[in-house]
Amino acid sequence: MQYFNSNTVLFLNGQFQKASNTTADIYGQSLHYGYAVFEGIRAYNTHNGTRVFKAREHFERLKRSAELVHIPFPWKITDLIKHTYKLLEINNLKDAYIRPLIYCAPNMSLIGGTKPSIMICAWEWGAYLGHEQLKVCISTYERPNPKSIPIEAKVSGNYVNSILATTEARNKGFDEALLLDMNQNIAEAPGANIFIEKNGKLYTPPLGNILPGITRATVMELCRVLEIEVIEKHLSVTDLKHADSAFFCGTASEIAGIASIDEYNFPIKWTDSIGSTLQRTYKCLVLEKQNYEVII
């Protein structure tokens, strides 16, 4: 996958510059120790022009992530949103995935809080997990204990755990992994949250041991409008393997249906599931197609 070409421009510390002319310091603390925070945001080509979906929520989470790991955040969110729109315009991107990254200066010590840089880049990216329902396995890896690293922060170093889980799943012939938390409850996918459907209701793990997904919050908002009950509670693997249907949700993957977990096939046809309704509704919402209350 080519993320940039000779014309691509990125944003770095207040300047727009050619991606191909940008360098990063090989002695950086972020590169050596994973001490960086980032976001994953999508922009959509809507009837009302290019819209960065939930831009403020994403930059607020970026700020919170930085604060949780003691990386200074001297920027104004309103400015970062403006720079993001400008970046899309310069690169002539309408449907895009946007990646802000805050990384730290050279420092081989383990003391945090060093001078941060902010970089924002964007590229065209299709559905991260594809359009087919996924074959998922329970990972042998667990999500990090929130007492070892703030799990609600989108910290680069946490994604070693994600890479291990996805790589293991692919090596075993599955599409994606599902990780448990330290108490053996269902947590999340390497880059998405999970909902399960049982008897017409949705269930999802509560906040605490997972990344507080912006798509997860959006799904819950949509459910309020659609009068679908959502229950946040700890869920076991047994709960999952007795469910009617399930789906992942995240900015990159949007709403992605799950066909099976290990050997267990979900009994409801995806097109008949609540997840499928939410998939369509979510798409209308991000594309600002119509008022989603009217569609259903």
- Asked if residue 178 binds ligand PMP (CB under 6 A), the reply is no
Size of the site for ligand PMP (CB under 6 A): 12
| Residue placing its CB nearer to ligand PMP in the complex, 138 or 214 | 214
DSSP secondary structure of the chain: -----TT-EEEETTEEEEGGG----TTBHHHHH--EEE--EEEEEETTEEEETTHHHHHHHHHHHHHHTT----S-HHHHHHHHHHHHHHTT-SSEEEEEEEEE-B--SS---PPEEEEEEEE----TT-SSPEEEEEEEEEPPPTTTS-TTS-BGGGHHHHHHHHHHHHHTT-SEEEEE-TTSSEEEBTTBEEEEEETTEEEEPPTTSS---HHHHHHHHHHHHHT--EEE----HHHHTT-SEEEEEETTTEEEEEEEETTEEPSS-GGGSHHHHHHHHHHHHHTT-S-HHHH-
| Residue placing its CB nearer to ligand PMP in the complex, 68 or 90 | 68
- Can you tell me the distance from the alpha carbon of 282 to that of 286, in angstroms, rounded to the nearest whole number? 6
| Residue placing its CB nearer to ligand PMP in the complex, 114 or 128 | 128
| Residue placing its CB nearer to ligand PMP in the complex, 10 or 187 | 187
- Can you tell me the distance from the alpha carbon of 162 to that of 155, in angstroms, rounded to the nearest whole number? 11
Q: Which is the catalytic residue, given 76, 82, 115, 154?
A: 154
Smallest distance, ligand PMP to C-beta of residue 252, A = 6
- Can you tell me the distance from the alpha carbon of 162 to that of 165, in angstroms, rounded to the nearest whole number? 5
Q: Report 11-70 residues binding ligand PMP (CB under 6 A).
A: 40
Q: Is 289 an annotated catalytic residue?
A: no
Tokens 């249906």 sit on residue: 257
Smallest distance, ligand PMP to C-beta of residue 5, A = 26
| Residue placing its CB nearer to ligand PMP in the complex, 214 or 285 | 214
Q: Report 190-249 residues binding ligand PMP (CB under 6 A).
A: 191-193, 211, 213-216
Smallest distance, ligand PMP to C-beta of residue 63, A = 14
| Residue placing its CB nearer to ligand PMP in the complex, 107 or 158 | 158
- Asked if residue 156 binds ligand PMP (CB under 6 A), the reply is no
- Asked if residue 188 binds ligand PMP (CB under 6 A), the reply is yes
The one-letter amino acid code at 102 reads: I
Smallest distance, ligand PMP to C-beta of residue 142, A = 13
Smallest distance, ligand PMP to C-beta of residue 172, A = 20
Q: Binder to ligand PMP among 84, 166, 251, 276 (CB under 6 A)?
A: 251
Smallest distance, ligand PMP to C-beta of residue 34, A = 14
Q: Mind telling me the catalytic residues?
A: 154
Which residues are at the interface with ligand PMP (CB under 6 A)? 40, 188, 191-193, 211, 213-216, 250-251
